[in-house]
Amino acid sequence: MPFKPLEAVGYCWVLLGLFWLAGKLFTKPTQRAQSLGGDLLHLLPFLAGAALIGGYFFRGTWLDSRFIAHTSAVELAGLAMTLAGCLFAATARLILGENWSGRPTVKAGHRLIVNGPYALARHPIYTGFVVALAGTTLAYGLWRCIIGFAIVLPGLAIKMRQEERLMMQTFPQDYPEYRRRVKALIPGVF
């Protein structure tokens, strides 16, 4: 059976999803959370973008046409980016440990994590997601993926701002210094 990079891209996302679900069992109770309306601001763009990237709803339309030549080298490069991004996000999720939540929250006994991937970016899970989504977009090479990727990014930006606000409120002494020292998403850049 020949190796199929596009199938491997899908497996990366399935494994990351299973890892995320399993990790939910090991989180602290929530002390303070973003409102449901605030959650929808970032969740809806993420779901819409994911549907475009991973969905098969647009077969036979211009959205399902290619923006890049379909070659095994392009697929493998996309797979490598997807795998690297998923691994980076999973590592950040492991380091965050019991503090993790799928929505902007402050957990009981919340600690400010600044080591591991959090020494490189304040939101390394999103860094990993962006790299993995860019890799998936490259591997598939479809216009719907580009549009989905573009829709996901503002949702992540909204969620990052919500989390930044909560962290500033929770750690008013330490978080401003951490913000000055560590970029939000791309180490040394942004």
pLDDT digit string, tens, across residues 116-125: 999 999 999 9
The answer to whether residue 22 is domain-embedded is: no
Helix, strand or coil for residue 31? strand
- Total domains in the chain come to 1
The answer to whether residue 84 is domain-embedded is: yes
74 and 68 Cβ atoms separated by less than 8 Å = yes
pLDDT > 90? residue 16: yes
Predicted local confidence at residue 42, as pLDDT = 87
What CATH number is given to the structural domain containing 86? Answer: 1.20.120.1630
pLDDT > 80? residue 34: no
The answer to whether residue 115 is domain-embedded is: yes
The answer to whether residue 25 is domain-embedded is: no
The answer to whether residue 127 is domain-embedded is: yes
Q: Tell me: the pLDDT tens digits for 158-177? A: 999 999 999 999 999 999 99
46 and 96 Cβ atoms separated by less than 8 Å = no
Show the domain range for 157. Answer: 33-181
